[in-house]
Amino acid sequence: MAYRKEFSAYKGDPGKRRKAEQAVKRVLGRIKRKYHSLISAVGRLELKAVQEEVRIFDTDGKHLFFQPEKILKLREPEKKMGIAALHIIMHGILGHFENVDLYKKRRLNWDVMDLTVTRLLYMMGEMAWDDLNIVCMSLLELSESELGSSLYYKAEKDKALQRKIRRLITMLEVPGVLDDHAAWALPSLKNGEMEGEGSPGDDWKEIRMVLFGSLCKDEKGLLKNPSRVVDLLSGGSCYGNSAGNGEKDVEAEGKAIRSYRDLIDELSSSRETVREEDILDPILYTYGLELYGDVPLVEPVELAEHKSMNSVVVAVDTSGSCTNELDRFWEETLGFYREIASDGGMKKLHFLECDTGIQFEKCYESAEELLSEEMHHGFHGLGGTSFEPVFEKAQEYIKEGEIIDCMIYFSDGWGFFPKEKPEYPVYFVLPHEEGGFFTGNTIPEWVEVINL
């Protein structure tokens, strides 16, 4: 097996490259929708079309390399690409990229890592192919304690076990769902636009710590406990279940894409109010008394129509999966502020930042406060995703006597919603068009979706 394999940028038909890249993105989108916990992991892999032959995908831990012609010729492409991509992601989740120097030139160690990943994917329900059943059944014969490094040291002294492992790997290589590890931790890449170190250790450690917490402190424990990994991947949120302690500064560079005028007009209640200056005209009043003695002259009072809102909750999803959208979210927030302020009829506006918990809270009580916000803003969080804390906070406002007119939530739409429909309308502003990666049936029916 060759190591330190290098790739150069694809020089073929641009149309084929675009078509293949779209197919890959669709598959990665399905992985994100199925496993919310893996959104951050999928986001770590930058797509790169390459000239050289690859099985389905290769990786250096930072890029997902694909050869467009090969992708377009695949039979059952979505199934094979899905497993191949998950295979690479699981290598990162299980800490294999960081150990590349330890594994180099040890085919047995690579094989054991591939079998560990394969068993994990089988437990996730991703490897139920007829032609792979023999591999999966053989893997199930191994106890969890015999996976990872334990299996390596056991096989190192057992030639028969080595032959069995190689036979299983050969069967897995037939559909091409394995990467060959030859590009792991590339020192550099040939083409100028693709230059860069490939060592991905720190990035994947960060992902694992968010996903698995203390379990990551014992690398062997993580490798020996795939059932625990499966549980966490199946039930986790976009960036795990923990709140983050990260910060990100953003700069709103333009105007909001959406106009929220129709929404505000719809939510604003029109009230007929008496203008203070129209309650009494002193000149007419006095003239009437002088002319008729005890009969003042009073004009019919004019009623003014005034639109007003009570309390509005504006929330921004600051989970890790929204990191790249925060600048747009802030632009839209400022746009909403401007349109609310132009009415001048708002009593309170509550601004919240939330990942799995409330990270920042601010209350505005005047149009001047809204308009004073600057283009530069620092967001807090970058952890997991749960929308429930924002709804709980809104309920606190209601208990304090406020009337909530609506909630505007800037998010990608992935997270945990409250089970009960609130008593006020809820609008989720999503950064993607319908049919994008971040739309689907996870959003309750009582949420109205606004796409940017």
Q: Fill in the DSSP letter of residue 186.
A: -
| pLDDT band with cut points at 50, 70 and 90 for residue 188 | very low
H helices within 94-200, ranges in order? 100-103, 107-123, 133-141, 149-156, 159-173
Bigger pLDDT: 443 or 37? 443
The answer to whether 38 and 210 are in contact (CB under 8 A) is: no
Q: Is the pTM of this model over 0.75?
A: no
The answer to whether 330 and 348 are in contact (CB under 8 A) is: no
pLDDT computed for residue 436 by the predictor: 37
The answer to whether 418 and 394 are in contact (CB under 8 A) is: no
Q: Indicate if the pLDDT at residue 361 is higher than 90.
A: yes
pLDDT computed for residue 101 by the predictor: 60
Bigger pLDDT: 355 or 246? 355
Q: Indicate if the pLDDT at residue 410 is higher than 90.
A: yes
The answer to whether 9 and 194 are in contact (CB under 8 A) is: yes
Give the separation between CA 353 and CA 241, rounded to whole angstroms: 16
List, for residues 25-35, the tens digit of each pLDDT value: 999 988 887 77
Q: Indicate if the pLDDT at residue 216 is higher than 60.
A: no
Give the separation between CA 269 and CA 343, rounded to whole angstroms: 12
Q: Which domains does the chain have, with CATH numbers?
A: 14-235 (no CATH), 246-275+307-451 (3.40.50)
Bigger pLDDT: 342 or 422? 422
Q: Indicate if the pLDDT at residue 124 is higher than 90.
A: no
Going by their DSSP bridges, the two strands 404-410 and 303-317 should be labelled as: parallel
Q: Fill in the DSSP letter of residue 274.
A: E
List, for residues 281-311, the tens digit of each pLDDT value: 666 666 666 666 666 656 665 544 545 678 9
Average pLDDT score over residue span 195-211: 62
Give the separation between CA 285 and CA 287, rounded to whole angstroms: 6
Of the candidate ranges 252-261, 269-278, 361-370, 426-435, the one whose mean pLDDT is the lowest = 269-278
Of the candidate ranges 4-13, 35-44, 248-257, 331-340, the one whose mean pLDDT is the lowest = 248-257
Tokens 């929220």 correspond to what residue?
260
**Longest CA span, the chain:** 122
Give the separation between CA 233 and CA 239, rounded to whole angstroms: 10
Average pLDDT score over residue span 260-280: 62
Calculate helix-pair angle for 159-173, 133-141, nearest 10 degrees: 150
Q: Indicate if the pLDDT at residue 10 is higher than 50.
A: yes
Bigger pLDDT: 350 or 385? 350
Q: Indicate if the pLDDT at residue 315 is higher than 90.
A: yes
Bigger pLDDT: 217 or 32? 32
| pLDDT band with cut points at 50, 70 and 90 for residue 110 | confident
Average pLDDT score over residue span 211-235: 56
pLDDT computed for residue 239 by the predictor: 44
pLDDT computed for residue 97 by the predictor: 79
List, for residues 146-164, the tens digit of each pLDDT value: 556 667 777 788 888 888 8
**Amino acid in position 116:** T
Q: Which of 232, 253, 218, 230 is nearest to 148 (CA)?
A: 218
Q: Which of 311, 317, 441 is nearest to 379 (CA)?
A: 317
Average pLDDT score over residue span 26-52: 84
The answer to whether 386 and 237 are in contact (CB under 8 A) is: yes
User: 195-206: buried (b, 16+ CB within 10 Å) or exposed (e) per residue?
Assistant: eeebbbeebbee
List, for residues 231-251, the tens digit of each pLDDT value: 566 554 444 455 556 677 777
List, for residues 12-29, the tens digit of each pLDDT value: 999 999 999 999 999 998
- Tell me which H or E stretch contains 242: none
